[in-house]
Structure 1
Amino acid sequence: MKKLLVSLSILLSFGIQAQSEQCNLQQSKFISATTVDKEDLICIAKNSQKPYTIFYTLASWCGPCRLHLPDTLDLEKTGMVDVFVLLVEAEQDQRINNAIDFIKYTDEKVKYVVLKDELYGTKVGKRNRKFVTEITPPNFENIDDYSKVILMDKSGNTVYVSNWKDYNKDWKNSKKMYENKIIPLLK
């Protein structure tokens, strides 16, 4: 089983191999994931084969993160976006393996990355707050919630950063939110 997981991790890493080489991305010393910061995400978006890249924030214990993941991954079917799951728990956090198992269970081909511990620290709330503050353009409301869709264009500009208010009190319906907020931006 362990060999199978290692083989699967190697195959998944090919999904970001080109970006890894061009962006000088580093592998975590603790888990089978590439570590990233804001500049790495910009580089990944610039080197994507698609016009847009979505980074979807996920924590293992976050109900909405888990609920919205399948709909987020479905956005790749538009042919316009690359989707990456951005793990917000620390590389050494014991819960992060639960997050990785969950996303692999949802779709074995999911591309995922993790925020760098040395830059964002190890406390999940502080990590997320620091990252969200960095990535959210000044023209958007900065809310440090989870289950965020961060949409970047091919030039590495952050086009959209979602938050809980985008769901208009229907937080269980991510498809509706994506149809209203994200899909129109892809045209």
Structure 2
Amino acid sequence: MKKLGILLGILFLQNVWAQEEKCGLKKSEFNIYKVNAEDIKCLAKSTDKKNSIFFTFARWCEPCLYHLPNFKKIEKYYNVDSYVLLIDDEGSKMTQLAVDYVQKDYPDAKIVILKDKEKKNGRKYKDFLKEITPGQFEVIRDMSKYIVLNQSGEVQLVTNWKDNKEYPEWKDDTSTIKRIVLPLLEKK
């Protein structure tokens, strides 16, 4: 049983490395890959899964902390590549806190970080959202978003706080996930 676990771990890491190598991703100082909208689309195209899902996260974002466990449950039951997408500056203390927080409960989580811009104007996340969000969805600069892409790298969904019909009960995003995220995914 132990050998099977080791073998599965090796196969998992080989798949992750192959995707990241194919997309030409570079690592930040915290040993996580730096991405932009095009890199995310490349990762989605490089997987053998039907969908990829990215969850925007920051340690200081209270909804993110509440919603992370639901996000991580998705990969248990659905055939997806899932990534936690950090939005703080690449080398910031907040980034390290976010990495530590995610890895504490989810040591195998795939964590990526939004690339810093050459000119720091505080708009990297806002600009990313404008670039990644298809026209049929409203661009809202909130956190704890689910971004679903298909294997062709097409963005199928970008959630926002308005999708939570139970608002102001914002701490639980279960109904939002069931209503608009899961129908796009393939069960295991």
TM-score by length of 1: 0.87
3-state SS of 2:40 partner: helix
Greater Rg over alpha carbons, structure = 2
Partner of 1:38: 37
Specify which of 111, 128, 133 is matched with residue 131 of structure 1. Answer: 128
Residue number in structure 1 paired with 2:25 = 25
In the aligned structure 2, how far is the partner of 1:138 from the partner of 1:70? 29
- For residues 80-120 of structure 1, what are the alpha-carbon distances to aligned partners after superposition, in whole Å with 9 as ceiling and x for unaligned? 21110000001122111110001001210000100111358
| Deviation sequence 1:51-90 (CA, Å, 0-9, x none) | 0000110011001011101100111122321110000001
Q: Quick one: distance in 1 between partners of 2:14 and 2:172?
A: 32
Query: Is 2:188 aligned against 1:181?
Result: no
Instruction: Say if 2:170 is the partner of 1:171.
Output: yes
Distance in 2 between residues matched to 1:120 and 1:131, nearest whole Å: 14
How many residues in Structure 1 have an aligned counterpart in Structure 2? 174
Aligned to 2:53: 54
2:157 maps to 1:160:
yes
Determine if the alignment matches structure 1 residue 145 to structure 2 residue 130.
Answer: no
With over 3 angstroms needed to count, the CA separation of the structure-2 counterparts of 1:62 and 1:15, relative to structure 1, is farther
Q: Deviations over 1:116-157 (max 9, x none)?
A: 11358473xx22111111110011011010111000000000
User: 1:107-122 counterparts in 2 under 5 A?
Assistant: 107-118=106-117, 121=120
Partner Cα distance (2:14, 2:113) in 1: 16
Specify the alignment match of 2:5 in structure 1: none
AA aligned to 1:152 is: L
Whole-angstrom CA distance in 2 between matches of 1:142 and 1:127:
14
List alignment gaps of at least 5 residues for structure 2.
1-11
Q: Which runs of 5+ in 1 are unaligned?
A: 1-11
CA distance in 1, matches of 2:32, 2:24: 14
**Match of 2:154, as an amino acid?**
N
> Residues 109 and 161 from structure 1, CA distance in 2 versus in 1: closer, same or farther, beyond 3 angstroms?
same
CA distance in structure 1 between the aligned counterparts of 2:31 and 2:15, rounded to whole angstroms = 13
Of 164-173 and 35-44, more deviation after overlay is shown by 164-173
Maintained 8 Å contact 1:120/1:127: no
SS of the equivalent of 2:180 reads helix
- Structure 2 distance, partners of 1:78, 1:52, is 13
Q: 1:15 offset after TM fit, Å?
A: 6.0
Q: Aligned-residue CA RMSD in angstroms?
A: 1.9
**2:117 counterpart SS class:** helix
4+ residue runs of structure 1 moved beyond 2 angstroms?
Answer: 12-16, 118-123
